[in-house]
A and B are shown apart, each in its own frame.
Chain A
Amino acid sequence: MSVMRLGYVHVRVTDLEEAKSHYGNTMGLLEVANEGNKVFYKGWDEYDHHSVVLEEGGVGLVKLGYKVSESSDLDDIEIKATRFGATVERMAKGDNLSVGDGLRITLPSDHVVEIYHEIEYLGTETGRINPDPWPRFRRGVGAPRIDHALITVEEPALVERFFADVMSFMVSERVIVSNENPEVIGSWMYCAGTPHDIAFIKGPNGKLHHFAFALESWSDVLHAGDIFAMDDVPVDVGPTRHGITRGQTIYYFDPSGNRNEVFTGGYLTFPDFPSITWTADQLAKGIFYISRELNERFTSVLT
């Protein structure tokens, strides 16, 4: 069995029109559908129906969707999640626009994760026959796809065990209190050969720290920063580099205060990737490698 990737992020926004301007004009996502108080988007290099869902009313995370490669994976994950003790229910085709049958799992941290195998295929903006490397008319940042999400959980070790035992994710990097005290206070896990497809840090259950868009290069990160200045998007930190994942980054806020990230770089992971460990005394360097400073905002702003 295998989970292939983070397929969609569904977040709440306080004002749908402002959020549409951010995710459409600033981030350059393509609006593919709308339904009631929800709008669906995809990046130009994504072929599935959608990867971002905005729902008007409130702030924060509604759920994350992970796509599996075989329909039998759903049965397998259902058994493992039930055995783990998580709350699992079957979701039906049509519960989410264009998404097929699947599972809706409530993590020990109260976050909701959906597992699905089928979703409508729309294709990328550049197509599959003799494609150009990017579409000629991109808006704003022109984000090609989503990348990962970071959530806060009261018990990182427990949620890590869930993603390992139930979802067969592997740990790329982990932050522990100290060499003497191996309590896990953060964990970065992958399924797709990336540095991370989910990450969690110790904090209140049910909260979103950020979700990220993948960009192609460091110069695209700088270009994104220029767009943020033009559109008066509040920037949290960056452009800089992470020690953890080695990725390059800018953190910023959508018009409802949900934190986004543009992310590029980082290493490749394989099933035999040996996990990397950081100790809490080096956490600031792990998060922001260049400045080696955590701002208060980074650790206190959650939605």
Chain B
Amino acid sequence: MCKVRVDAEDVEVEAGLEETILEALRRCGYAYRWGCRRGGCGVCKVDLLQGEVDYRRNVSELVLSATERDGGVALSCRARPRGDVTIRLRDERLKKCYGILAT
């Protein structure tokens, strides 16, 4: 298991080996801006402040350019943490969606 920490939020979740950053946060009841969840639109891009990610599935250069990858941008619906990571959301706060169901 790797830890996904969200910078500027007091939030840290664990991600399974096959889980992406977005899947791990969604499973724990968190939400932020995402689009197709299939790597096609780029809406869920986050900044990777620490750690490494990889992509099990193809990601189009049209969506995430090599320059962006090198500059620490991650496509969170497709990026799997390889070890603990810290990400920063872009111009938004993480939302806790389960509300009263949250434990």
Contacts and interface: CB of A to CB of B under 8 A. Distances in A.
Decide whether A and B are members of one complex: yes
Interface residues of A, number: 23
Interface string A9-46: 00010110010000000000000000000000000000
Given A14-B57, A15-B57, A301-B43, A58 B38 contact: no
Q: Tell me whether chain A's interface is mostly helix, strand or loop, or mixed.
A: loop
B57 to A, nearest CB: 6
Contacts of B34: 297
Interface in A252-283: 253-259
A12 B40 CA distance: 10
A59 B43 contact: no
Given A59-B62, A296-B33, A257 B40 contact: yes
Contacts of B39: 14, 256-257
Contacts of A302: 41
Nearest to A57: B60
Contact of A253 (B36, B57, B62): B36
A59 B61 CA distance: 9
Counting chain B residues whose Cβ lies within 8 A of the other chain, the interface size class is 10 to 19
A204 interface: no
Contact of A14 (B33, B43, B59): B59
B63 interface: yes
| Chain B interface main SS type | loop
Given A253-B40, A258-B40, A297-B43, A59 B63 contact: yes
A108 interface: no
A15 B38 CA distance: 11
B18 to A, nearest CB: 14
A257 B62 contact: no
B41 A257 contact: yes
B97 to A, nearest CB: 14
A178 to B, nearest CB: 29
A303 B41 contact: yes
Contacts, number: 62
Contacts of B62: 58-60
A58 B60 CA distance: 5
B40 A14 contact: yes
Residue from A59, A234, A302 whose CB has the most chain B CB atoms within 10 Å? A59
Contacts of A257: 35-41, 63
B58 interface: yes
A300 interface: yes
Given A14-B60, A15-B57, A59-B63, A255 B35 contact: no
B76 to A, nearest CB: 13
Interface in A284-303: 296-297, 300-303
User: Which has the most chain A C-beta neighbours within 10 Å: B40, B41, B43?
Assistant: B40
Interface in A217-244: 234, 236
Interface string A55-96: 001111000000000000000000000000000000000000
A188 B39 CA distance: 29
A59 B40 CA distance: 6
Given A12-B60, A15-B57, A297-B35, 6 more contacts: A15-B58, A234-B38, A257-B35, A257-B41, A257-B63, A301-B40
30 contacts: A14-B39, A14-B40, A14-B57, A14-B59, A14-B60, A18-B57, A58-B62, A59-B40, A60-B62, A234-B36, A234-B37, A234-B38, A236-B36, A253-B37, A253-B40, A254-B40, A256-B40, A257-B37, A257-B38, A257-B39, A257-B40, A258-B40, A296-B33, A297-B34, A300-B35, A300-B43, A301-B43, A302-B41, A303-B40, A303-B41
